[in-house]
Structure 1
Amino acid sequence: MDTKSLIIEVATKLFQEKGYIGVGLSEILKACNISKGSLYHHFPDGKEELLIACLDSLNEVITQDIEDIFNQFSTTNEAIEAMIDKLILNFETEGTITGYTFSSIVSEMASLSEPVRNACSLLYSKMQQIYSKKLVADGFSTEVANSLALTMVATVEGGMMLCLTQKSSHPLKIISQVIPNILKDYTK
């Protein structure tokens, strides 16, 4: 792995675990075993530029994973259930959902930095697009699909945060049962 990829991988994990404000550059340097000059060579604008690179990396990984899951199943209900089951399994085996959650970064930085807000917004938009596309394929109108997709993103994101704060997978298990009922309540 090249140095830039290493920095992004390590910093992403640290930002997810401790938040943007909770992680200093010295901690990233130590964890990567690199010099300050090496970090600034790859990220001349410093920590915020690194955060945006981390968010871009998360964006790629998360959207690819969601697309892969959604492409495996014929309906939105099956796909969302499989995705939530994967999140629950990750939480129950690892005690966290670090590969998916970036909400703590959003809450810390989105109001302070327009580039960070844009990077976060892009990821949420891509998630919504994946859900909406599947809902349209299920027969929902574009307008209804977009509304439901927004609801699904907010619900799953909120569920992940509740799992982390409650140290329990129970919120995602409930959401997995409720989303099919929400979809059923809408006419196609």
Structure 2
Amino acid sequence: MNHYDQIARHFESHIGALSLSVDIIAEVIGHAADNAAEAIFTEQKLFSCGIGADGANAILLSELLQRGVFRERPALPVIELVARHSVNASDGASWVSHQLQSLGQPGDMAIIFASGLPASGVQEISGALAARDIAGVWIGNSGKGIELTFPETSAATALALSSASAIALAELIDITAFGPLEG
């Protein structure tokens, strides 16, 4: 079996979807980065949320913000809410919703990676955001607040685009907080 063809199709699909989505990704991620930096500067909480496989992108974003991998700098505060061991997405969405209601306050911001989250989970988390007046940024799904969706893509491609979006978002937040990157 030749794995090259499968791997080539895999990456061609991701690259093609990314190139077709770059305009909307740039617009949405730009707004999200400005809002996230504002939340940090005004000492509001920034949550990075994900359920199931989407949890990997929530972890990626928080690691990039806390570790400063683009340059040496102080850590940026982010609270990671990841439900990756839930039996199903509904249980994970319930857990994230309860955490947002417990920890969230008006003016806080949540970035929710949700490409695999069903509508009921989106509604539950959106309800928690509304109840606590938390600004939401949805990556991979439509919910309350700013949203970045990847229609007509496979689940694997949606996760890859969410991952690329997490990296771009972290980089823009870093630039907003600490100025342009060198080199």
> Relative contact order: is structure 1 or structure 2 higher (C-alpha 8 Å, sep ≥ 6)?
2
Q: Which has the larger share of strand?
A: 2
Q: Which has the larger share of helix?
A: 1
Scaled by the length of structure 2, the TM-score of the pair is 0.26
